Chain A
Amino acid sequence: MSKKILLSHGGGGEETQNLIKELFFKHFDNEILLRMEDAASLVMQSTKIAFTTDSFVVSPLFFKGGNIGKLAIAGTVNDLSMMGAKPKYLTCSFMIEEGFEYAKLEEIVISMRDEMAKSGVKIVAGDTKVVPRGGVDGLFINTAGIGEIQYEGISAHNLAQGDVIIVSNEVGNHGACILATREEIELESDLQTDCASLWKPVEALINAGVKIHALRDATRGGLSAVLNEWAETSKVCIEVDEAKIPVAQEVKGVCELLGFEPYEFANEGTMVICLPQSEAKKALDVLQKFPETAKCALIGKVTTAFTCKVVLHTPWGSERFLEPPKGELLPRIC
């Protein structure tokens, strides 16, 4: 019979210590964590730091191209990266449902270790709770992260007429992938999540001297939410060309089937960048060198045609507002 997580694994006694040492320390091995103090003692080079936290409650826990653990690392690494901050240290809390398979937990932990290696970030403190059956849906993970700001002034307030908008990858892959994997839909598809840590490409942009006005990973709410937030915050109009927005054919297919828009689907490794037009070529040249941003594209520009609005231009000459997503994503009826 496969090994399961028991309530006693969260009780604070010997079983908890065994779980921490045999699983978490084994894979998250670093000298700060292994000290097992009440809090991690950290050294930061910079006086300006970025600090963030996020909780991951995705269902299903495993999907094509990733799992909740990879997501929990990439998500927090990206939140720091979007502030121009080099991710340094993470904390990680596991909330595990009683009966969860140990082997699955280990697979998740290993993918977290692998994802951390991509940006050089470390988990330096953590917490484990085991709750009775039904208390959580399998596993919830919270990560908090701290990073050193390497590039200052990135802000949603910075958009100005003449700027251009770049997306780093196809949009909607993660949302469509999760939807296709959900038990109630069960679509046969090779679609993979875009889940990835973006620090390396962001660092390369900074090192290449690219001027960045705004940077945001297009997570929940997707591209549409980011563009609308930016237009609203900077009191500008963002105009995008539908034909230039990279969308995978399978994502288009899922959207057509269920009546959704790819621009509203979540992404977990795709960022939106606003920068002066003069910087666009340099930025695209940098991004194209990284596999996770190789499909980057310049999709639009900042104008003053409307205030606080996003306009989508179709390839046949019509245009419409791209409204921010609202409410639950519910499939169409017929």
Chain B
Amino acid sequence: MSEVDLIEGFRDPEHMKALAALIKKECKSKINIMEVCGGHTHTIMKFGLSQILPELIEFVHGPGCPVCIMPKERIDHAIALASMPNTILATLGDMIRVPGSKTSLQKLRAEGKDIRSLYSPLDVIKIAQENPDKNVVFFAIGFETTTPMSAVLMQHAIENKLTNVFFHINHVTVPEAVEAIMSRGDALIDAFLGPSHVSVITGYKIYEPIAEKYHTPIVVAGFEPTDVMESVLRIVRQVNEGQSVVDNEYARAVSREGNLKAQALVNTYFEKRSHFRWRGIGDIPNSALKLKAEYAAYDAEIVFDDVLPKTELNDHKMCICGDILKGRAKPFDCKVFGKACTPTNPMGSCMVSSEGACSAYFKYGNLNLKGARA
């Protein structure tokens, strides 16, 4: 497959228009679709998909952005770890911009602390080898998609006999978060777009109990615009047929069982936490991972326990990230959206992350909602 096929094939205008026409023709009733993953939110906004879909299709944003769901006290952990002497803190992408209770990693970096934004967790190995006299703490974030990379890093750290690498694990899991939202009974959600990158690792079987219990169709969708349009069409057809099953639109990368090798690697090093506090959602049982007890020597939460703040911190009162993550509000419903809270000065993490719903609404605007043309 050429590069052209990899991108252009999934953005073909005629294919897009044909899918839009089919959805418009077949959609008979209002369908609220939660896109669990922030990547889908961005596809919907960036490619203006709502504008070519019938008004009966309503997208609701979900809790699937690893930066957005990180509670402030965990950011404060990262800040405390990065502030230790002789320490390099490494993490992925946008995490460095998220505000903690007093500062962010980005501001701390400007003050001279050694904070590295990585493209790949495996870079930690090189950093640790080049800095044998320093502690290198990897602040690990992400859903099931990125967890195997942390497991591989753990494996490499052991194989290389590195004693200066530590892990602060914040890996969270999708099914428990979706279950938490649906079990409250007040979520107006008729169907889900399933996060396909998660499913590449876990397989689509993880969504089957939810589809069955809550009678909601779930279509595991890729991130290209035609993927999302095709998945919406499949949801419409399930709704029309009265079905509620897991359907796999992203068959080019996802199977029912997933990547067994990656799952085994994750299970080697990680186990479930009894609880993890999600930003704006609260405690969700069994929704996150931690290192197994036998790897305690690598666990930053154990080794550096004495420097880690213990207080749980809620968001600013004006910030409605919690309601956005639960699918109860949209970014434009927030009074501080685009005013006190912008990507340059975010109050809430939904505005920080490149996968956050507020960031998507701010970056791509929405001509339909922002007012008619002059």
Q: Which B residues lie at the A interface, using CB under 8 A?
A: 3-4, 6-7, 11, 13, 16-17, 20, 39, 42, 45-49, 51-52, 66-67, 92-97, 106, 117-120, 123, 141-143, 145-146, 197, 225, 342-344, 353-355, 362-367, 370, 373-374
- Residues in chain B near residue A316, CB distance under 8 A: 13, 16-17, 20, 47, 52, 225
Q: A314-B47, A326-B343, A330-B94 are in contact. List 10 more A-B contacts (CB 8 A).
A: A249-B4, A319-B48, A320-B45, A320-B46, A331-B93, A332-B93, A332-B94, A332-B355, A333-B93, A333-B141
Query: When chains A and B are docked, how far (Å) is the Cα of A327 from the Cα of B67?
Result: 17
Q: Which residue of A lies closest to B344 (CB)?
A: A326
Query: Which B residues lie within 8 Å of A318 (CB)?
Result: 47-49, 51-52
Q: List 26 A-B contacts (CB under 8 A).
A: A184-B118, A184-B119, A184-B123, A252-B3, A259-B354, A315-B16, A316-B20, A318-B47, A318-B49, A318-B51, A320-B45, A320-B46, A320-B48, A320-B365, A320-B367, A326-B343, A327-B344, A328-B106, A332-B39, A332-B355, A333-B92, A333-B141, A333-B142, A333-B146, A334-B142, A334-B355
Q: A307-B374, A318-B49, A318-B52 are in contact. Are A333 and B355 (CB under 8 A)?
A: yes
Q: For A305, what are the chain B residues with a Cβ–Cβ distance below 8 Å?
A: 373-374
Chain A residue nearest to B373 (CB atoms) is A305
Please judge, given known A-B contacts A184-B120, A320-B45, A332-B93, whether A250 and B3 are in contact too, CB under 8 Å.
yes
CA distance A317 to B18 in the complex (A): 12
In the bound complex, how far is the Cα of B143 from the Cα of A326, in angstroms? Answer: 26
Is A1 positioned at the interface, with any CB of B under 8 Å from its CB?
no
CB neighbours (8 Å) of A307 from chain B are: 374
> A334–B373 contact, CB under 8 A?
no
Verify B3–A253 contact, CB threshold 8 A. yes
Question: Which residues 297-334 of A have a CB within 8 angstroms of B?
Answer: 304-307, 311, 314-321, 323, 326-328, 330-334
Asked if A103 is at the interface of the complex by the 8 Å CB criterion, the answer is no
Cα distance A330–B104 when bound, in Å? Answer: 15
Q: Name B's interface SS.
A: helix
- The answer to whether A256 touches B119 (Cβ under 8 A) is no
List chain A residues, Cβ under 8 A from B4.
249
Residues of B within 8 A of A36 (CB): none
* Binary contact readout A192-218 vs B (1 if CB under 8 angstroms, 0 otherwise): 000000000000000000000000000
A311 touches B367 (CB 8 A): yes
Distance, CA A249 to CA B120, complexed state (A):
23
Asked if A243 is an interface residue, CB under 8 A from chain B, the answer is yes
Measured CB to CB, the closest approach of chain A to B250, in angstroms, equals: 14
Residue ID in chain A nearest B352 by CB atoms: A327
* A185 in contact with B119 given A252-B7, A323-B363 (CB within 8 Å): yes
Contacts of A184 in B (CB 8 A): 118-120, 123
Closest residue of chain A to B116 (Cβ to Cβ) is A184
| Cα of A184 to Cα of B119 in the assembled complex, Å | 6
